[in-house]
Amino acid sequence: MNAVTHPTARPRINTAPDLNADERERIRAKAALFAPPPAMLPDGRRDLVGLSREEIISELAEIGEKPFRAKQLWHWIYHQGATDFARMSSIARPLQEKLAARFVVGRPGITTEQTSTDETRKWLFRFRDGQEAETVYIPDRREDRGAVCISSQVGCTLSCTFCHTGTQKLVRNLGAAEIVGQFMAARDSYNEWPSPKGDTPRLLSTIVLMGMGEPLYNYDNVAKAMRIIMDGEGIALSRRRITLSTSGVVPMMDRCGEELGINLAISLHSVRNDLRDEIVPLNRKYPIEELMEACRRYPAASNARRITFEYIMLRGVNDSEAEARDLVRLIRGIPAKVNLIPFNPWPGSDFKPSTREQLARFAKIVMDAGFASPIRMPRGRDILAACGQLKTESQRARRAENAASEDASPV
Ligand code: SAH
Ligand code: SF4
């Protein structure tokens, strides 16, 4: 049975935002169980990265310093990219020393940094407790700019059957410092400090929260990190340049739209509840109808800022022309674009990528219905930076990838 042509096949649940409040609390309480360790060095020095302006002000008050110092520090940390208090020339030497005795301006450690033949760059970052997560820079082929793909968790609680991260249990959530830190360390690597004034694009011009983990299951840390990144006196990245990808945590989508106003990408992958229940198990909790309603009311969506529907193309599973037509019906009326993702195989995965002919047929139906439907080219395959290929067993994954790459090659 088809969820699109038979929308009443499943009882409808009322999804009014206020009825989501309890659910949001439950999600937050669970997130707290996987909280990151405090952003502090063993010697007790506190990391200033990841603190809100108010938190910096109160840290400074504790050592008898006035609030305007927070503004100065913010400028040095987030506009200039300084990590050394001695470089902060608007602050007198004695205060620099006092700050250095109490605080640090941290960065994640770099376990590996690799640059692909297609110029995609991938870092495996190591945090203070030894946990690691990946960040990828994907340059735009046509322009001197690109996207930084950031992780929000180590592992993931969800277990989408096509996703390698889904085979790793959730280890913990990343803290705001670790989320902002991924972007700042990527900027260090490209020497992109100080931040440009206004909305001037740089190489690292956009952020996509599409790395490891489900960002809406770590909403508080993600939101805090994004507020820091959007702050006009620091990195000052516009909310229009940030996209959060979710597998469909409906109650948190409203919150994200209202509070952050960033772009949304939905990992849809199927137009039928029976299939989506299987490949994106979160669908059993928040079925397609609820997800679509949440998309329709997403505050930041407009014709200028469309919702991206991500659709991973799995051969013989979800890639028929009938499904393409159902997809078009499902998203009609939503300011949307569709991102068709060739499946990246990994060891132990049962799926095969769609053939390039089928990909093209599917894309044409979506395009003819008036939706942009770019096929996401797998990038950085040689360094295992493509979607869904994550750190564990990377050598084996690479061999499997190469073996299957002929079929998956983009149209
Ligand atoms: N948890 C969030 C964000 C991280 S996943 C989410 O699911 O949206 C980022 C994207 O990579 C998702 O669209 C996901 O479906 C896709 N992805 C996961 N495994 C993949 C694979 N093996 N091949 C291609 N894309 C994959
Ligand atoms: Fe988690 Fe996203 Fe992978 Fe699903 S696709 S297991 S939500 S990271």
pLDDT in tens, 8-45: 444 444 445 566 889 999 999 999 999 999 999 999 99
388 CA distance to ligand 1 middle (Å): 5
- Check whether 83 has a pLDDT greater than 50: yes
| Amino acid 18: pLDDT | 64
- Check whether 204 has a pLDDT greater than 60: yes
pTM for this model (two decimals): 0.89
Ligand with minimal distance to 151 CA: 1
Name the token pair of 289: 């109808």
Q: Given the structure tokens 């994200």, which residue do they identify?
A: 256
Question: Residues of the chain with pLDDT > 70: what percent?
Answer: 87
Mean pLDDT over 369-393 rounds to 70
Whose C-alpha lies nearest to ligand 1, atom 9?
210
Q: Is the CB of 120 under 6 A from ligand 1?
A: no
Largest CA distance in the chain: 72
Ligand with minimal distance to 404 CA: 1
- Check whether 391 has a pLDDT greater than 60: no
Which has more pLDDT, 105 or 2?
105
Report the DSSP pairing between strands 153-154 and 146-149: unpaired
Q: Place 177 in a pLDDT band, splitting at 50, 70 and 90.
A: very high
Could you identify the atom of ligand 2 that is nearest to the CA of residue 280?
Answer: 4
Q: Within a 10 A sphere around the Cβ of 352, how many other Cβ atoms?
A: 16
Distance CA 87, CA 93 (A): 10
Whose C-alpha lies nearest to ligand 2, atom 4?
160
Report cis status (omega within 30 of 0) of the bond before 194: yes
Active site residues: 134, 387
CA 9 to chain centre: 33
- Check whether 164 has a pLDDT greater than 90: no
Q: Place 358 in a pLDDT band, splitting at 50, 70 and 90.
A: very high
Name the token pair of 349: 């995965």
Give the E-state strand segments of 168-262 in sequence order. 172-173, 204-209, 242-246
Name the token pair of 143: 């322009």
Give the mean pLDDT of the chain.
88
Residue count (the chain)? 411
Q: Which residues line ligand 2 (CB under 6 A)?
A: 156, 158-160, 163, 165-166, 213-214, 247, 267
Question: Residues of the chain with pLDDT > 90: what percent?
Answer: 75
| Amino acid 371: pLDDT | 95
